[in-house]
Amino acid sequence: MATPTGRIVRTLSERGSLSAVQLARLTGLAKSTVSTALAELKRTEMVVETGTEQTSGAGRPATTLTLNPKAGTCIGVLIGQSELQVIVADVSHSVLWDKSVYLEPGYSEQTAAELVRELITEAYADQWQTPAGLLGVGIAVGAPVNPVNGQILRGGLPNLTGTDIRALLGQLFDVPIFADNESNCSAIAEMTWGAAQGFEDFIVYTLDLGVGGAIVSGGKVLRGIAGGAGEFGHVVIDPAGPVCRCGNRGCLEVYASFSGPLAEAQRHFGRKLRITDVVRMALAGDETCRRLIAQAGEAGGRGLGLIGSVFNPPLVVVSGRLATAGELLMTPLAESFERYSLVKREDVPENARTILRRSTFIDNGACMGAVGLVLRHHGRPLN
Amino acid sequence: MATPTGRIVRTLSERGSLSAVQLARLTGLAKSTVSTALAELKRTEMVVETGTEQTSGAGRPATTLTLNPKAGTCIGVLIGQSELQVIVADVSHSVLWDKSVYLEPGYSEQTAAELVRELITEAYADQWQTPAGLLGVGIAVGAPVNPVNGQILRGGLPNLTGTDIRALLGQLFDVPIFADNESNCSAIAEMTWGAAQGFEDFIVYTLDLGVGGAIVSGGKVLRGIAGGAGEFGHVVIDPAGPVCRCGNRGCLEVYASFSGPLAEAQRHFGRKLRITDVVRMALAGDETCRRLIAQAGEAGGRGLGLIGSVFNPPLVVVSGRLATAGELLMTPLAESFERYSLVKREDVPENARTILRRSTFIDNGACMGAVGLVLRHHGRPLN
C-alpha cells in the first residue's frame, strides 16, 4: 500500500507504538505528510494516542501513537513437536489470550486441527473478540514450510510431513492465513520486539530439543526456494553418524540438541525432567546439570562456527530454552564459536566482531512471531 | 545519485546495453522521464546508440543504448594464490586489455605491488587509455577482505594476511579503488553478464585448488560484518582433521578442493599438471582423471549439501576450473548434493527445486567482477 496512511498503518503494525517523528523517519515520509495522515487516522479511530515518551534530547516528551486496539485482533498458532499454542493479540501488540497444550510427538493432523479448534473456541468463550474482528491467522510450524504450496517439509515434524498446514487450519477461519517455520517466526519476534531490534542482518540460532535457526538479510527473513533456508540443525556433520529424525544421517541436531543430555540427566536423577528443570538445577549450582549445559554449549558452538564461517553475521541471537541458562551456556558457546570460526576476534577491530546475544523471547517467541507474520502483512497486498 | 540521468548511467554501468523500455523498467522511471534524460545524455555524449534489438513482441526493433566507451575505463586486478591478473575494460563492458602472470604461492606484498605496477605500465604502453581516463580500480582478492578497514583476513592468502590491499595498490592510482574477495567478484560477474542473470538470490560455489563461494541476497553480495561471508571452504567439517591453510583444522577445503587429487594425478602420471590438464584428459576419456573428478564432485556435493541446508537457494552457480569438466563433475556433484540436503527434489514441485548450473566465467570471472565492482559504484557516492 503506497498511500501515506497505508504506510503508517503498516509501520505501526510492525512496530507497536511510535512517535510522529519516529514514524516520519521509518516511513521516509515528510513530517507534514505524517501529520496530515495521522489526523485522518485519528479521526477515523484507526490510530490512538497511548501516552508520552521522553525523547533523547532535552525537548518536551513526544506523544506516542498506536493502532487502535479495537481495530482488530490476530491469532498466532504454534504447531510444535509436543506443544500446540494459541495466542490472541490486538493490533497494538498486546496479548489478550495465551494458552498451550502439550501432547505426545507423532500426533495426527486431525488431532492438531481438533486441538487448535478447541483452543480457539475457548479463547472466543473468554470474549477476547473485538467488534472489528479477526485480521488474520499466523502459524508457526516446528518444521520447514514450502512457501510455494504451503506443505510441511521433511524435518522436525515427521507426523505432519506433506500436510498443507494453511489448508488444514484454513477450514477454521475465513481470514488471511500465513505459515512459516517456528525459527523464522522467532526471528520476526526478535526483530520486532526483542534482541534484534535495530539490526537488518542477523542469525537466530535455536538450541532446544531440536536445533534450528533463521537468516535475516536486509530486514527480510530468508525462506529459501522451498522453505528450507535456516535449517541449521539439518546440516550434515558426519555422513556416517546416527540417523536423524529428518531421514539423513549425522545432522548437527543429533550432536547439538539437548535431547541426548536431557536423557542422560533423566537417567542420572532417575526421574522425568524438562529442559527447564535441568537449567533451574544448573543455575542453583548442580554440577551435573552445569556440565551437561556446558557440553551442549561446546557442541552448539561448533555448529555456530559453521554458520559463522558461512555468514560472518553482525549478530547471532541465541534462542531456545537452553538460552535461559545464561552464561552457563553462552560462555562455552562463545569459546567454541571462536575456535571453529574463520574470522577470529583478535584479527578484526571491535566493530567488525560478531555479537552473540540471548533472545528476548523464550517460551512464546515463535507464537508471537506468528502474530508478527499477520501484522507484517496487515495493510499490504497478500503474496 | 537520485537524478534520472544518474540512475540511467548507473543502470547502464551495471548492465551494459539496454533499450529505453528496459531502462524505464529497471530504473522505475516513467518512459517520458527516461526519454528526456536520454536526450540530454546523448547530447553530452555520455550515452551512445549501439544498434537495434528485436523485441519479444511483433513491434519494430528497439534501439539499444550503452555508455560511451570513450567515457572512461576501469581496471580490474586479481590477487590470487599463484596468479596476478589485470584487465582493462571500458564502461560499455568491452575488455580492452587482459594479461596474467603466474608466481609461486607465498609471494610478498612488495612483489605483488611491483608486478601489478608492471602489468599496468604494459597496458598503458599498449595505448588502451582513452582521453576520459580511468574511473576506478577494482581488486579481486583470493581471501576475505574486511570491509571495515580493507585488510586481508586469514584464509586463502597467508602471505598477505593483514595487508591493507587498497592502501598497497592505492599508491599506484589516483582514482577510487574497491576490493572484495574473488568469489564475491565472480558473483558480480555471473549476475551482471553470466549464469545468474535474472536471479536476485543465488549462491556461487567455487571448486578449484581452493573452495570458495559467495552469497547473493536481494541482488546484493553479502559481505559479512568483517568480510567473512560466503567462506564455504573454511567451514569446519572435522575438528580433528588435517590443518588447513587458514589455521583451523578439518575445513571443507581440505576435503573438497582439487589440491589433493591434483597431487595424486601428478604422482600417477609422473609429471607436473594443472587442473585444466586433468580436465582435458578426463574429457578425452582417461579413466583415472574421470575418477578423480567424480570423487571431487562427490566431496564437493557434501559441502554443497551443507550450504543447501542453510540457504535452500533457487540457484547455485558452480564455478572454478573444475566446472570445465561439465557433466563429469556436475552429475556426481548433484547426486551428492541431493543426498546431503534436507529438502529432497521429490518432496517439492519442480519450481521449488534448487537449480545447479555451471558458471559462465571460468578464467577471468573474478577479474571481470572486479571491473564490475567499479561499474556498480560508477555514478554512485562511495561508501
Q: Is residue B309 within 8 angstroms of chain A, CB to CB?
A: yes
Mark yes or no for CB contact B225/A349 under 8 Å. no
pLDDT, position A129:
60
d(CA A67, CA B226): 39
Contacting residues of B for A248, CB less than 8 Å apart: 339-340, 342
pLDDT of B383 higher than 50? no
Mark yes or no for CB contact A149/B231 under 8 Å. no
pLDDT of A305 higher than 80? yes
Tell whether A129 and A162 lie within a shared domain.
Answer: yes
Tell whether B95 and B45 lie within a shared domain.
Answer: no
Express each pLDDT in A14-68 by its tens digit: 787 889 998 998 888 899 999 998 988 888 777 888 877 655 555 667 888 888 8
Average per-residue pLDDT for chain A? 88
Average per-residue pLDDT for chain B? 88
Using an 8 Å Cβ cutoff, are B45 and B68 in contact? yes
Interface size between A and B, measured as CB pairs under 8 A: 174
Is B383 inside any structural domain?
Answer: no
The closest CB to that of A312, out of B162, B224, B246, belongs to B224
Percentage of chain A beyond pLDDT 90 is: 51
Tell me chain A's radius of gyration from C-alpha atoms. 22
Express each pLDDT in A332-368 by its tens digit: 999 999 999 988 888 888 999 999 999 999 878 899 9
pLDDT, position A127:
64
Is the pTM higher than 0.90? The answer reads no
Q: Closest Cα of chain B to A53: distance in Å?
A: 33
pLDDT, position A56:
56
Express each pLDDT in B293-340 by its tens digit: 999 999 999 999 998 889 999 999 999 999 999 999 999 999 999 999
Of A145, A315, A309, which is closest to residue B215 (Cα–Cα)?
A309
For B374, residues 6+ apart whose C-beta sits below 8 A from its C-beta are B74, B75, B76, B135, B136, B137, B138, B176, B178
Which residue among A34, A67, A100 closes a domain?
A: A67
* Average pLDDT value for residue range A158-180: 89
pLDDT, position A16:
79
Which residue among B45, B67, B89 closes a domain?
A: B67
pLDDT of A106 higher than 70? yes
Least confident of A11-15, A53-57, B42-46: A53-57
d(CA B36, CA B89): 28
Mark yes or no for CB contact B311/A229 under 8 Å. yes
Q: Is residue B312 within 8 angstroms of chain A, CB to CB?
A: yes
The closest CB to that of B232, out of A223, A310, A343, belongs to A310
Least confident of A57-61, A277-281, B222-226: A57-61
Tell whether A102 and A228 lie within a shared domain.
Answer: no
CATH of the domain at B323: 3.30.420.40
Q: Is residue B298 within 8 angstroms of chain A, CB to CB?
A: no
For residues A169 and B55, the model is more confident at A169
Tell whether B31 and B80 lie within a shared domain.
Answer: no
d(CA A283, CA A277): 10
d(CA B125, CA B130): 12
* Average pLDDT value for residue range B109-113: 93
Tell whether B293 and B228 lie within a shared domain.
Answer: yes
B239: nearest CA partner in chain A = A340
* Average pLDDT value for residue range A118-145: 80
Sign of CA dihedral A134, A136, A140, A143: positive
Tell whether A178 and A135 lie within a shared domain.
Answer: yes
Using an 8 Å Cβ cutoff, are A308 and A277 in contact? no
Is A76 inside any structural domain?
Answer: yes
Tell whether B21 and B149 lie within a shared domain.
Answer: no
Least confident of A247-251, B56-60, B190-194, B257-261: B56-60
What is the DSSP track for B190-225?
HHHHSTTTT-SSEEEEEESSSEEEEEEETTEE---T
Using an 8 Å Cβ cutoff, are A211 and A170 in contact? no
pLDDT of B104 higher than 80? yes
Is B240 inside any structural domain?
Answer: yes
* Average pLDDT value for residue range A288-308: 94
Q: Closest Cα of chain A to B58: distance in Å?
A: 32
Cα dihedral A360, A364, A366, A372 in deg (nearest 10): -80
Contacting residues of A for B153, CB less than 8 Å apart: 342-343, 347-348
d(CA B183, CA B189): 10
pLDDT, position A133:
77
Tell whether A247 and A344 lie within a shared domain.
Answer: yes
Is A383 inside any structural domain?
Answer: no
Task: Provide the β-strand partners of residue A18.
Answer: A65
- By residue range, what is the domain housing residue A159? 72-187+365-377
Is A382 inside any structural domain?
Answer: no
Tell whether B63 and B206 lie within a shared domain.
Answer: no
pLDDT, position B130:
55
Q: Closest Cα of chain A to B355: distance in Å?
A: 10
Tell whether A183 and A238 lie within a shared domain.
Answer: no
pLDDT, position A28:
85
Q: Is residue B342 within 8 angstroms of chain A, CB to CB?
A: yes
d(CA B144, CA A342): 10
What is the DSSP track for B304-350?
HHHHHHHH--SEEEEESGGGGGTHHHHHHHHHHHHHH-SS-GGGS-G
Q: Please tell me the total count of domains within chain B.
A: 3
Which residue among B52, B67, B82 closes a domain?
A: B67
* Average pLDDT value for residue range A143-169: 88
Tell whether A104 and A220 lie within a shared domain.
Answer: no
Express each pLDDT in B73-103 by its tens digit: 889 999 998 899 999 988 777 888 999 999 9
Percentage of chain B beyond pLDDT 90 is: 52
Is A41 inside any structural domain?
Answer: yes
* Average pLDDT value for residue range B142-168: 88
Is B382 inside any structural domain?
Answer: no
CB count in 10 Å sphere of residue A331: 13
Provide the strand spans (E) within chain B.
18-19, 47-53, 62-67, 73-79, 83-90, 95-102, 134-141, 177-181, 202-207, 211-217, 220-221, 315-319, 355-358
Tell whether A141 and A59 lie within a shared domain.
Answer: no
pLDDT, position B131:
47
CATH of the domain at A31: 1.10.10.10
Query: Testing the interface with B: which of A151, A183, A312, A345 to mutate, by most B Cβ within 10 A?
Result: A312
Q: Which helix (H) or strand (E) holds B124?
A: helix B109-125
Q: Is residue A216 within 8 angstroms of chain B, CB to CB?
A: no
Mark yes or no for CB contact B309/A225 under 8 Å. no
Using an 8 Å Cβ cutoff, are A53 and A131 in contact? no
| Range from A79-88, B7-16, B86-95 that averages highest in pLDDT | A79-88
Is A236 inside any structural domain?
Answer: yes
Q: Is residue A101 within 8 angstroms of chain B, CB to CB?
A: no
Contacting residues of B for A305, CB less than 8 Å apart: 236
Task: Provide the β-strand partners of residue A261.
Answer: none
